[in-house]
Amino acid sequence: MLPIGLLMIEHRLIERLIAVMEKHAERIKKERLTDIDFIDNCVDFIKTYAGRCHHGKEEDILFRDLKKKTLSDKHLVTLNELIDEHNYARNLTSKLVETRNKYFNNKTEAEKQILAFEIYGYLKQLIDLYPKHIKKEDKEFFLPVMHYFSDRQKEEMLNQFLEFDRKLIHEKYRKIIESYE
C-alpha cells in the first residue's frame, strides 16, 4: 500500500462525518437550537481524528518530507494551500468551540437561537471546506507527489504513518491527565 492510500482511507471517514454534520446543520437552521453532545462529538472528531491524526500525518511526515524535495511550482503552491486549509479548519473549529461554550452557558432562548445560528455558520464553513480540500488532496496532489519518493522512502513513510497512529491514543489521554494534574 502506498502511504497516501492510508490518508485516502481516512478521507472516507471524514466525508461520512461531513454528511452527518450537514444534516445536523440543516436542523439547526430550521429549529435555531443545537445538540451540545453532537457538537462536542464533532469537535472531538475534527480535532483528534481529522486534525491531529490525519493532518498530523500529512504535516509531520508527508509535507515535512516533501519540503526536502525540489517540487514543481504547481506542487509547491498546492502544498502551501493545503497547509493554509489545515490552519483554516483549526481556526473554524476553535471558533465553533468558543460559540458552543457561549451557547451552553446562555440562559435565554433568544440568545441561544442567535448562538445556534453562529454554530450553524461554523459547521457550514467546515462542511464547505472539507470536500474541496479532500478532492484537492485525492485528485490533484497525493498521487502526483508520490513520484518524488523512491519505493524505499514510500515504505518508510507508511511505517511512520502507522507508528504515528499507534502513539496518538497515548498522546491524547496523557494530555488529558496532565491537564488535570
Task: Measure the CA–CA gap between 178 and 181, rounded to whole angstroms.
Answer: 5
Which residues, 6 or more positions from 102, have their beta carbon under 8 angstroms from its beta carbon? 115
pLDDT category of residue 109 using cuts at 50, 70 and 90: confident
Span 144-171, mean pLDDT?
93
Cα 26–Cα 117–Cα 28 angle in degrees, nearest 5:
30
Q: Is 150 helix (H, G, I), strand (E, B) or coil?
A: coil
Sign of CA dihedral 11, 41, 51, 126: positive
Span 124-139, mean pLDDT?
97
Span 52-74, mean pLDDT?
96
Span 113-124, mean pLDDT?
94
Q: Where are the domains of the chain?
A: 3-180
Task: Measure the CA–CA gap between 83 and 58, rounded to whole angstroms.
Answer: 9
CATH homologous superfamily of 3-180: nmb1532 protein domain like (1.20.120.520)
What pTM was computed for the model? 0.91
Task: Measure the CA–CA gap between 132 and 4, rounded to whole angstroms.
Answer: 17
